């Protein structure tokens, strides 16, 4: 079973100062496919997601313990190269946040950090990433324009392309459509469904319909605990735990 898992986390605990916010999460993710993390606000799902590419390192008050085995290697080992890690595990945030640069520069950003890549290859990989994010046709004629001139949904797909350009294995998304209107949100979802065929995608979402529509597997978080994880269909139709049932049927949350 662990063979085709790309990432396995064991007994993940996270502390804000003295306060424990995650109480021992055991969860693993397949090499391809979409895993949705759902749960009420403050359940720890975003916190958990951000720990996967060590974004909590930016905050000196946060301490993370437990094992994160990415292809068998512990992410939190002292000798982990954060640059390489974050190249392999990309992250997309809730707020569409292109840099105030051109579309091309945004997508090429991660590639240009590593100055070994030749210009031709950068061009190629920008195109590849934009096609994967299903935004190429929208922007191919205006790559030199400022990315802030695009619509919210387009911006978010540019961000996804920006993460894909470095060819990651895992893509983390923190409520990527909650700041978008429904139509833009759908366009991002469609891109994600396509990407789920080739990448391991982990998405935090408040929108249960979205989890139903796009996720293969769904994990339900509450109060810093992982309550239940199963095929998305089972979570919504045949939940095993009482809390999960209450949540997915809308009795709270």
Q: Stretches 14-22, 28-36, 110-118, 125-133: which one binds another protein (CB under 8 A)?
A: 110-118
Binding residue for another protein, selected from 61, 65, 84, 198, defined by CB under 8 A? 84
Indicate the pairing of strand 33-38 with strand 217-222: parallel
Binding residue for another protein, selected from 55, 134, 170, 208, defined by CB under 8 A? 55
Q: Provide the 8-state DSSP code for 143.
A: T
Smaller CB separation from another protein, 69 or 148: 148
Residue 106 CB, shortest distance to another protein, in Å, is 10
Q: Stretches 29-37, 77-85, 199-207, 240-248: which one binds another protein (CB under 8 A)?
A: 77-85
Q: Stretches 5-13, 92-100, 197-205, 214-222: which one binds another protein (CB under 8 A)?
A: 92-100
Residue 93 CB, shortest distance to another protein, in Å, is 6
Binding residue for another protein, selected from 69, 117, 148, 193, defined by CB under 8 A? 148
Q: Residue 155: in which H helix or E strand, if any? A: helix 152-164
Smaller CB separation from another protein, 56 or 243: 56
Does position 95 interact with another protein (CB under 8 A)? The reply is yes
How far is 38 from 94, CA to CA, in rounded Å?
Answer: 15
Supply 173's token pair. Answer: 């998304």
How far is 206 from 177, CA to CA, in rounded Å?
Answer: 10
Radius of gyration of the chain (CA): 18
Angle, CA of 13, 15 and 16, to the nearest 5° = 155
Residue 156 CB, shortest distance to another protein, in Å, is 12
Binding residue for another protein, selected from 30, 109, 151, 193, defined by CB under 8 A? 109
Q: What are phi and psi of 215, to 5 degrees?
A: -90, 140
Indicate the pairing of strand 170-174 with strand 217-222: unpaired
How far is 70 from 141, CA to CA, in rounded Å?
Answer: 38
Pair 100, 119: CB distance under 8 Å: no
Does position 86 interact with another protein (CB under 8 A)? The reply is yes
Looking at the chain, how many residues does it have? Answer: 253
Does position 113 interact with another protein (CB under 8 A)? The reply is yes
Q: Residue 247: in which H helix or E strand, if any? A: helix 242-248
Give the distance between the most distant pair of CA atoms in the chain: 55
Residues in region 159-178 near another protein by CB under 8 A: 159, 162-163, 166
Count of residues of this chain found to bind another protein when the rule CB under 8 A is applied: 27
Q: Stretches 16-24, 97-105, 200-208, 244-252: which one binds another protein (CB under 8 A)?
A: 97-105
| CA of residue 236 relative to chain centroid, distance | 21
Residue 209 CB, shortest distance to another protein, in Å, is 26
Binding stretches for another protein (CB under 8 A): 53, 55, 58, 82-87, 90-91, 93, 95, 97, 99-101, 109-110, 112-113, 146, 148, 159, 162-163, 166
């Amino acid at each position: 079973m662990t063979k085709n898992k790309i990432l396995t986390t064991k007994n993940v605990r996270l502390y804000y100062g003295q306060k424990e916010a995650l109480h021992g999460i055991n969860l693993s993710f397949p090499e391809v496919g979409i895993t949705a993390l759902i749960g009420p606000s403050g359940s720890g799902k975003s916190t958990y997601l951000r720990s996967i590419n060590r974004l909590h390192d930016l905050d000196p008050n946060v301490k993370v313990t437990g094992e994160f085995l990415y292809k068998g290697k512990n992410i939190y080992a002292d000798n982990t190269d954060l640059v390489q890690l974050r190249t392999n595990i990309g992250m997309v945030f809730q707020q569409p946040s292109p840099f105030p640069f051109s579309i091309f520069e945004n997508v090429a950003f991660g590639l240009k950090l590593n100055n070994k890549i030749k210009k031709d290859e950068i061009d190629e990989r920008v195109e590849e990433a934009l096609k994967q994010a299903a935004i190429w046709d929208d922007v191919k004629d205006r790559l030199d324009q400022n990315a802030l001139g695009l619509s919210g949904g387009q911006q978010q797909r540019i961000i996804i392309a920006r993460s894909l350009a470095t060819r990651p294995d895992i893509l983390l998304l923190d409520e990527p459509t909650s700041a978008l209107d429904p139509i833009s949100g759908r366009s991002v979802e469609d891109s994600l469904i396509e990407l789920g065929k080739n990448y391991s995608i982990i998405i935090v979402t408040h929108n249960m319909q979205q989890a139903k529509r796009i996720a293969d597997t769904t994990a339900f978080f509450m109060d810093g605990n992982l309550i239940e994880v199963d095929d998305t269909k089972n979570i919504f139709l045949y939940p095993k735990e009482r809390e999960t049932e209450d949540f997915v049927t809308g009795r709270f949350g």
